[in-house]
Structure 1
Amino acid sequence: MLSEPLTLNLRTVQFTDEQFYQLCMSNPDLQVERSRQGELILMSPVGGSSGTREMELGGELYVWNRQTKLGKVFSSSTIFKLPGGGDRSPDAAWVELSRWTALTPEQRSKFPPIAPDFVLELRSRTDSLELLRSKMGEYLESGVRLGWLFNPQDQQVEVYRQGEATEVRSLPTELSGEAVLPGFVLQVERFED
């Protein structure tokens, strides 16, 4: 059953970045994002199948980065303050090391004001594909260079690149990190329930 996240239209409230940060810190059990229009988006937790898939995919990214030491890997709990105006938390993300170290210690400790170089989103059973595609577009507009949207329901992965049309691949497939994640290759089998 598809359900959309609860979206609170609080555009007239105008949360400052610090107020949004404090709201999130005061409510650690809520998974909150903020759209670039200022709407608060309350996300549902994922079930076991989605949780294990998310961890496996993010784990592959972590292992590659641990070997290459080219950047920093982030979990779905990390909110990025995107240059395009939204505050988003991809299921997994990666930032190139020199871009990460250019941030101040305070910027790194709060919601980093940076677009990741790479994002990974995994559609859960209750996620709207249309909303996830919109989120991927927001990532690209904010400077994300490469993104993968995994869609287990349709046994597909969508590849998002700066300035290019979305590429849709059927599973199984092999994904390359291309120039963004040099040497990273991910074999993706069909998803099972």
Structure 2
Amino acid sequence: MTTVTTPVENSPLVLHLHPVINLTDEQFFEFCQINRDLRIERTATGELLIMPPTGSETGGRNFRLNGQLYNWTEQNGTGVGFDSSTGFTLPNGAKVSPDAAWVKLERWKTLTPEQQQTFAPICPDFVVELRSVSDNLILLKTKMQEYIDNGALLGWLIDRKKRQVYIYRSGVAVECLDNPATVSGESVLPGFVLDLSKIW
């Protein structure tokens, strides 16, 4: 007898703390540090979103994605890149960790060293979310729109399950590409082209 397992879409575990507990930014940062095995985010309204680590396959694909962004960032020199373990504090107060992110160097340098060492109070100029087979697509789309609403200029939601890339731009309707070979960083990351054959 053979057992077949089918991945089920997962939503993060949501913890409602308010009004019983109001974590300060410093307390939330420390909470995340002592729970490093979990991916923890905080919504603009204070709920904690707790997600298990990604599976090995998704982690490997994310590594290849970040490798391509790293290579371009090092050659271009106009910004700073970040991987999925990095937390940012958006202007609306949400604490988020995109799978990949990039911030213009001049914006990054406006932050103090203390701000850079915690969940930096800045929305990345560019963000990527890579959907694993168990991720809830609706929640990821909502998260992508939140980045744009908080100042991101360009975002990619890469849905490996359907081989689609949703492109989010400031002030423009979302565009969906079906099974593209590459996707361009446009004017936000000039010259950066992600080879999706390494991701699919």
Q: Report the TM range for the smaller structure's normalisation.
A: over 0.9
1:84–1:141 CA contact under 8 A, matched in 2: no
Q: Which runs of structure 2 are paired with 1:10-159 in the superposition (5 Å)?
A: 10-12=17-19, 13-159=21-167
Q: What's the TM-score, normalizing by structure 2?
A: 0.92
Percent identity between matched residues is 49
* Pair 1:179-2:187 in alignment: yes
Q: Deviations over 1:66-116 (max 9, x none)?
A: 111111110100000111210000001000001011100000011100000
Unaligned runs of 5+ in 2: 1-7
Instruction: Return the letter of the residue paired with 2:47.
Output: E
User: CA RMSD of the aligned region, Å?
Assistant: 1.3
Q: Residue in 2 aligned with 1:8?
A: 15
- Which one has a bigger Cα radius of gyration? 2
Structure 2 counterpart of 1:11, one-letter code: H
- What is the deviation of 1:190? 8.5
- CA shift, 1:191, in A, is 5.7
Q: Which 4+ stretches in 1 moved above 2 angstroms? A: 189-192
How far does residue 11 in structure 1 lie from its aligned partner after superposition? 2.5
Deviates more, 1:166-175 or 1:125-134: 166-175
Instruction: Provide structure 1 residue ranges, at least 5 long, that are not aligned to the other structure.
Output: none
Alignment deviations for residues 104-163 of structure 1 (CA, whole Å, 9 cap, x no partner): 000001110000000010001110000000100111111011000000111101000001
Amino acid at match of 1:113: P
TM-score calculated relative to the size of structure 1: 0.95
Aligned length in residues: 192
AA aligned opposite 1:146: L
**Contact 2:129 / 2:157 at 8 angstroms: preserved in 1?**
yes
